[in-house]
Structure 1
Amino acid sequence: PNIKGRFPGDAVRQINALIGKNPLLFDSYLSGAIEIDVDCLSDGNEVFVCGIMEHIEEAGVHSGDSACSLPPRSLSEETIAELKDQTAKMALALGVVGLMNVQFALKDGVLYVLEVNPRASRTVPFVAKVIGEPIAKIAARLMAGEKLSSFDLKDKKLNHVAVKEAVFPFGRFPGVDTVLGPEMKSTGEVIGLDTDFAVAFAKSQLGSSIKVPKSGTAFVSVRDDDKTPALAKAVKSLANSGFSIIATSGTMRFLIANDVKCEKINKVMEGRPHIVDAIKNGEVQLLINTTHGKKALSDSSTIRRSALLEKVPYYTTIPGAIAAIDGIIAYQKGALSVRTLQDYLA
């Protein structure tokens, strides 16, 4: 009745006719959920989980655009066991022979299944390199009739961490906004490998041609929902490592309230000198910018575009920004080393 009352001018009565004869389905989004990718092999009777990848960006960013880590960096042993169990049950119930990929979301301790793909996923080459098993070849042989038990696959405790990062073509498409969302925008991927997550993340950024700064000025401007203790802690760590922090007025008040020293800089609409001027003048070495809503996205698009053109690393999600800050601090310490993939798997 309330919905009908909102459309009194519906002359042809389409809305009233539709609502009157059909049930309505109301969906809600999982805000702040962790997305997880799981790849497995099955011969129809047995299942081997090849890899569980924890996305760094929250659920809602396309899985092809989100960075992820293998092994997962924050999931509990109980959650990992449940992921393996649910994946195996689905593979057997669906009669999968070969590879299967499942995308889960974890929110408040509850696992949700986003989608199940009874096929090879784009994560297969990544997982194969990280665990040292030719899983695409094994899948093909399973599809030809061989049994999973004949390959003697066993869970390995990895002594290294791998971070998969997306590579974006934004520089080739003038006018494209760099904000990540449900539509896939990346055109490639790289891997960062190390024994430490922060160093592996830094390597993944360098591998995707991002200039990882060791010093300078960081600009922070985030929406209200992202003004969290975790962000304040990360930005404070960045300031303590020698970076100067500048922020728009609302974010500045939030950071100062959390004992982070920073200075105010104007938004573009507030007049010059503003943040775009600072980026173009080479005064900003890192940009963290989250926004919400069509108008806010439009107002801040010039900031992200200027960062792209001036090759200033930018992050448009809070989990990505926090991981980047950890990586920058590790990079400052000179902790990067070069090793072959075989060394990590030995």
Structure 2
Amino acid sequence: MDEAKVIATRVGFPVLVRPSYVLGGRAMQIVHDHDALQRAMEQMASDGSLGKEGGLSAERPVLIDRFLEDATEVDVDAIRDHTGEVLIGGVMEHVEEAGVHSGDSACAIPPQTLPAWVVEVISEYTKSIATALDVRGLINVQFAVLGTTVYVIEANPRASRTVPFVAKATGVPLAKVASRVMLGSTLEELRVEGLLTPPVSGGHVSVKEAVLPFNRFPEVDTALGPEMRSTGEVMGIDRTFGRAFVKSQTAAGTVLPTSGTVFLSLNDGDKPAGLVVAKRLRDLGLGVAATTGTAAYLAKFGFPVDRIVGKLSEMEGSSMDNAVELVAQGEISFVVNTPHGRGSREDGEAIRKAANANRVSSVTTVEAALAAVNGLWEQYQSEIEVCSLQEYHGR
């Protein structure tokens, strides 16, 4: 533990604490101080499921990395043949910021906010990594973009869960192309054969969304983090990102509000973006309830809320509305709660669990909230249309 504290102090909080040799981000945690680090180490060593399987050892150490706050995560699927040519199948920008497991995050093709030069840099990094590893077939590389710096998170020379999504988004049969490449064909030969065609682009946006099993586990905290929790994926396609995002939410079973009151509880870093969320909710004719801190911030910029709701820790002796009771009584139609660190996470856990238990949809990142309200606004302006993949691909 002492060594972990020294490393975390040197690296600088927040840090990502993760055990070795696990899949799906299992037992990974983002910690913001020494107390949280102590708890994370104890859970991995003895208390949690990982501890019950043998805990930590010299052969199974804990890795402590600097966590990139406010970074944008990016996934790339590519194919390399034995001649060294690399095909970039798709560059996917995540909706949620880095720190949410890629399997739980929504993502879009083409990237919606990344500058063209960043996408080009990411493509070149992917080609260099595939060449250095002498890959024959598929490779998935994950990046984090912070400011003007592109970081490589990890590279996996295998098929990723995103391959079917990329294939449907672009019209390129990546799995079939990769299989032929692994059997010795070149990408150029597959172009001549007609199997490998240029990707369809320019006319639509595709959004992949995770399907989460929280409706089966009403007592589980729905806050997303580095440990993967999804059990499937869906996608939405439309001519704009907002409309495609709404379709993806519908497919995933998330009911976005068209009436009623939306509850907002935002950490300090997310409050500026919350202004946009609140404005869009007003434009849509929805009511807004918020915690004291969020309500005070919105009021400073001319967005008073309809109801001020107390946090769990503020309810003793208070006459404020109780968020959990409002959800249970059916007075809240949607919940936006963005935890940050230990304290706010404990305050928000009760409202997230109440929303889950009462089948009220919720999001736990401000990025998802922005995408949802902007998509609803586009849907409000014109009805959603349904087209086949063949129509989008022009085939």
Please indicate, yes or no, whether the TM-score normalized by the shorter chain is above 0.5.
yes
Q: Which amino acid aligns with 1:190?
A: V
In the alignment, what sits opposite 2:219? 175
Cα displacement (A) at 1:233 = 2.0
Find 1:237's aligned residue among 267, 275, 280. 280
Residue of structure 2 in register with 1:290 after alignment: 338
Kindly state the Cα deviation for residue 174 of structure 1 after the two structures are TM-superposed: 3.5
CA distance in 2 between partners of 1:234 and 1:169 (Å)? 26
Paired residues, what number? 324
Shift of 1:239: 1.3
Matches within 5 A, 1:302-313: 302-313=350-361
* Corresponding residue number in structure 1 for 2:290: 247
Q: Which residue of 2 aligns with 1:7?
A: none
For residues 93-129 of structure 1, the C-alpha deviation after alignment (integer angstroms, 9 at most, x for no partner) is: 1100100000000001110000001010000000011
Q: Residue 390 of structure 2 aligns with which residue?
A: 342
Distance 1:192 1:99 in 2: 24
Name the SS for the 1:96 alignment partner: coil
TM-score for both structures, normalised by structure 1? 0.89
Counterparts of 1:185 and 1:336, CA distance in 2:
29
Q: Secondary structure at the match of 1:227?
A: helix
Tell me the residue number matched to 1:49.
88
**Structure 1 residue 26 displacement after superposition:** 7.6
Contact 2:266 2:274 in 1 (8 A): no
Aligned to 2:115: 76
**CA distance in 2 between partners of 1:156 and 1:202 (Å):** 22
1:199 maps to 243
Cα distance between partner residues in 1 of 2:208 and 2:200: 19
Q: How does 1:144-183 map to 2 (within 5 A)?
A: 144-152=183-191, 153-183=197-227
Contact 2:237-2:244 within 8 A present in 1 as well: yes
Is the 2:200–2:393 contact (alpha carbons within 8 Å) kept by the matching residues of 1?
A: no
- Kindly indicate whether residue 302 of structure 2 is the aligned counterpart of residue 256 of structure 1: no
1:30 maps to which of 42, 64, 68: 68
Which of 60, 64, 77 is 2:103 aligned to? 64
Which stretches in structure 1 are left out of the alignment for 5+ residues?
4-24
Distance 2:274 2:341 in 1: 21
The separation in 1 between residues aligned to 2:107 and 2:199, in whole angstroms, is 20
Query: What secondary structure sits across from 1:312 in the alignment?
Result: coil
Check the 8 A contact 2:143/2:154 in 1, yes or no: yes
1:202/1:330 contact within 8 Å kept: no
**Kept after mapping to 1: 8 A contact 2:222/2:353:** yes
Equivalent runs, 1:100-119 vs 2, <5 Å: 100-119=139-158
Q: Could you list the per-position Cα deviations for residues 246-298 of structure 1 after superposition, in whole angstroms to 9, with x for gaps in the alignment?
A: 11111101111122121312223433631111111111111110122334323
* Residue matched to 1:325: 373
Report the Cα distance in structure 2 between the residues aligned to 1:326 and 1:121, rounded to whole angstroms: 29
Give percent identity, aligned residues only.
Answer: 44
Q: What is the alpha-carbon distance in structure 2 between the residues aligned to residue 160 and residue 232 of structure 1?
A: 28
* Aligned pairs (5 A) from 1:123-162: 123-152=162-191, 153-162=197-206
Instruction: Report how far residue 310 of structure 1 moved.
Output: 2.0
8 Å CA contact retained: 1:218, 1:285: yes
Give me the whole-angstrom Cα distance separating, in 2, the residues matched to 1:264 and 1:345. Answer: 48
Q: Secondary structure at the match of 1:265?
A: strand
Aligned-residue Cα RMSD (Å) equals 1.9
